[in-house]
C-alpha cells in the first residue's frame, strides 16, 4: 500500500474517470450509428442520512442495433467504515472511513458472434480522519465470447499486454493469471470467458505510477474491444446461435451474483442496487444438463476458449 502524496488525489482520479466514461459512451453511440440507440444518462445521489454518501452517473444503452444492453457506470461513494470484502487483506483498516471511486462497464451485444466484455478501473482511499489516506487501485478487462475466434482473443490479450508493458514485463503475465483465477466459476469448474487482465489491492509502484498503470488499462479498452465488435457485428445468425448465447449469459449472471467481489462490495456497503447490477444481461437462460455435440462451434467454445491458455 502507498500513501497518496497529494491532497488532490481523489479529484484528479474523479476527473479522469468521468472523462473516460464519456469517451466510451460516445464510441458506443458511434457504433450504433445514425438513428441508433442513444445512451440514457441517469445521475444519482445518495441522500444525507443514508449509510453511504456520494454520487454517480449511470450511462446505459438498451435495445440498440449493436448492443442489447451496454451499461457504463461512474460512482464516487463515501462510507463510515470499510466493508469486510475490502479489508480481508488489510485488517489494520477494518472499520476505517473510506472513499471508493471508479468506472465499471459490461456490454452485452445483440449478435451472438460479438463477445460480451467487462472493464473496471477504480481507486479506494481509506484511513482515520485527519490522516493522509491509504490509496490502492484495482481493475482490468476480460472477454467472454459465445462463439470463439482466435484472432479476436489474441488481439484483446495483445492490447492488454501492450498497455501494461511500460510498467514492467511481469505485469501482463501476472495479471493475466490473476484474471484466469478470479473469473472462474468454482461451482462449475469452468472459466467465465477467455480472460484478459485483472488486478486488485494494487499500490506497489507508488501512488503516481500505480495510478498511471490503472489509467493505461482504462485508456486501452476501446482499442482492445471495438475492432472485435466491428469485425463481428454483421455476422448472420439464427435461433440456434441466439439460444446458445442466452444459455452462456446465464453463466455470466451466476458469476456476478455468487463470486464477484465488486458486486459484494457494492451491496455490503449500501450502494445503489440498480447501478451495481447494471452488469446483468437483459435476457439469459438456463438448461438442465445441456450438452453440445462434438465438433460443433458450441463445443469448441468450452474446449478451446473457456480454458486457461497462453494467447500470445
- The alpha helices in 149-205, defined as continuous H runs, are 150-164, 171-182
The answer to whether the beta carbons of residues 66 and 110 sit under 8 Å apart is yes
Choose the catalytic residue: 108, 118, 155, 264. 118
Cα–Cα dist 83/86, whole Å = 6
Residue 126 vs residues 4, 86, 109, 207, 310: alpha-carbon distances, Å: 11, 10, 37, 14, 36
The answer to whether the beta carbons of residues 74 and 21 sit under 8 Å apart is yes
Cα–Cα dist 163/145, whole Å = 22
Which helix H or strand E contains 243, and what residues bound it? helix 239-258
Query: Is residue 157 annotated as a catalytic residue, yes or no?
Result: no
Grid cell digits, residue 246? 442466452
Cα–Cα dist 56/42, whole Å = 8
Report residue 127: phi and psi, to 5°: 160, 170
DSSP 8-state code for residue 88? T
The answer to whether the beta carbons of residues 108 and 19 sit under 8 Å apart is no
Burial group, residue 70, by CB count within 10 angstroms (0-12, 13-18, 19+): buried
Among candidate residues 15, 308, 303, the one with its CA nearest the CA of residue 148: 303
- The alpha helices in 123-232, defined as continuous H runs, are 150-164, 171-182, 206-232
Among candidate residues 276, 280, 257, the one with its CA nearest the CA of residue 46: 276
Name the residues annotated as catalytic: 118
Amino acid at each position: 500500500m502507498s500513501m497518496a502524496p497529494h491532497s488532490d488525489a481523489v479529484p484528479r482520479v474523479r476527473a479522469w474517470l468521468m472523462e473516460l466514461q464519456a469517451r466510451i459512451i460516445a464510441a458506443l453511440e458511434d457504433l450504433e450509428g445514425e438513428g441508433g440507440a442513444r445512451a440514457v444518462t441517469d445521475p444519482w445521489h445518495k441522500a444525507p442520512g443514508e449509510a453511504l454518501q456520494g454520487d454517480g452517473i449511470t450511462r446505459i444503452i438498451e435495445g440498440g442495433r449493436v448492443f442489447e444492453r451496454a451499461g457504463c457506470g461512474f460512482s464516487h461513494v463515501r462510507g463510515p467504515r470499510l466493508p469486510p470484502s475490502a479489508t480481508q487483506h488489510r485488517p489494520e483498516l477494518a472499520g476505517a472511513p473510506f472513499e471508493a471511486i471508479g468506472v465499471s462497464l459490461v456490454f452485452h451485444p445483440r449478435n451472438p458472434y460479438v463477445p460480451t466484455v467487462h472493464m473496471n478501473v477504480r481507486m479506494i482511499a481509506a484511513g482515520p480522519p485527519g490522516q493522509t489516506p491509504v490509496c490502492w487501485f484495482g481493475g482490468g478487462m476480460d472477454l467472454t465470447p459465445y462463439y470463439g475466434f482466435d484472432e479476436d482473443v489474441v488481439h484483446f490479450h495483445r492490447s492488454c499486454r501492450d498497455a501494461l508493458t511500460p510498467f514492467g514485463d511481469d505485469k501482463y503475465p501476472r495479471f493475466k493469471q490473476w484474471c484466469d483465477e478470479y473469473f472462474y466459476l468454482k461451482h462449475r469448474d469452468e472459466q467465465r470467458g477467455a480472460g484478459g487482465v485483472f488486478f486488485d489491492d494494487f499500490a506497489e509502484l507508488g501512488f503516481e505510477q500505480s495510478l498511471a498503470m490503472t489509467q493505461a488499462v482504462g485508456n486501452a479498452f476501446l482499442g482492445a474491444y471495438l475492432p472485435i465488435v466491428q469485425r463481428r457485428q454483421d455476422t448472420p445468425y439464427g435461433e440456434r446461435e441466439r439460444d446458445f448465447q442466452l444459455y452462456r449469459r446465464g453463466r455470466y449472471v451466476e458469476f456476478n451474483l455468487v463470486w464477484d467481489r465488486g458486486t459484494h462490495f457494492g451491496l455490503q456497503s449500501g450502494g445503489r442496487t440498480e447501478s451495481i447490477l447494471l452488469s446483468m444481461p437483459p435476457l439469459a437462460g438456463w438448461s438442465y444438463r445441456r450438452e453440445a455435440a462434438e465438433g460443433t462451434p458450441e463445443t469448441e467454445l468450452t474446449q478451446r476458449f473457456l480454458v486457461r491458455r497462453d494467447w500470445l
